[in-house]
Homo-oligomer: A and B are copies of this chain.
Amino acid sequence: MTTQDRLIESTQDLLWERGYVGTSPKAIQQRSGVGQGSMYHHFTGKPDLAAAALRRSAEQMRGIAEADLAAPGTAYDRIAAYLRRDRDVLRGCRMGRMAQDPDVVADPQLRAPVEETFDWLRGRIADLVAEGQAAGEFAPGLDPADTAAAVVAVVQGGYVLARAAGDAGPFERATRGALGLLAAHRSA
């Protein structure tokens, strides 16, 4: 692994654990085992490094979600697979975590990967809902974009509730609740 890669991976981990404000260049150097001079040789500073880390995390998150959403099965099955996927719930979402940080939201370079990830995810699920409607699987009254936003929000909010409780339970309940609500719309 290259020095850049080690820096980016350490930054990804620290951003996930501690957020942008809570992550210092010094901590990145220590975790990656890369020296100060070396770090500033490869990246111009903390925002630059964070942007690279966020772009990589965005790519990874998209790949993981796509694996569920493009799997064989009905539209409902694939949305259910996304909602039921086994997660390290108390760690939360790499991307969702960033949306809470004012310094990330204020910097277009940092916010862009976060925004694009969720735009893509909502669009992907909205298409799935529409596909399910065309197949007669979901009631035609359902708005695909609204329903998709609700599904993604349940996952993101589930993380919040779980971390607040110090327990994965609320996440499981929220996703189960969402599936229960969605199931009633099936014709099958």
**Main SS class of interface, A:** helix
CA gap between A92 and B164 in the complex, in Å: 15
* Copies of this protein, total: 2
Does B21 lie within 8 Å of A164, measured CB to CB? no
Q: Is A55 an interface residue (CB 8 A)?
A: no
The answer to whether B157 touches A118 (Cβ under 8 A) is no
Stretch at the interface among A26-34, A36-44, A45-53, A98-106: A98-106
Spot the interface stretch: A59-67, A69-77, A141-149: A141-149
- Give the contacting residue for A164; candidates B115, B158, B161, B165; CB below 8 A: B115
> Is A124 among interface residues, defined by CB-CB distance under 8 A?
no
A111 within 8 A of B: yes
Cβ distance A175 to chain B, nearest Cβ, rounded Å: 8
| A35 in the interface (beta carbon within 8 A) | no
Task: Give chain B residues whose Cβ lies under 8 Å from the Cβ of A161.
Answer: 99, 118, 122, 149, 152-153, 156
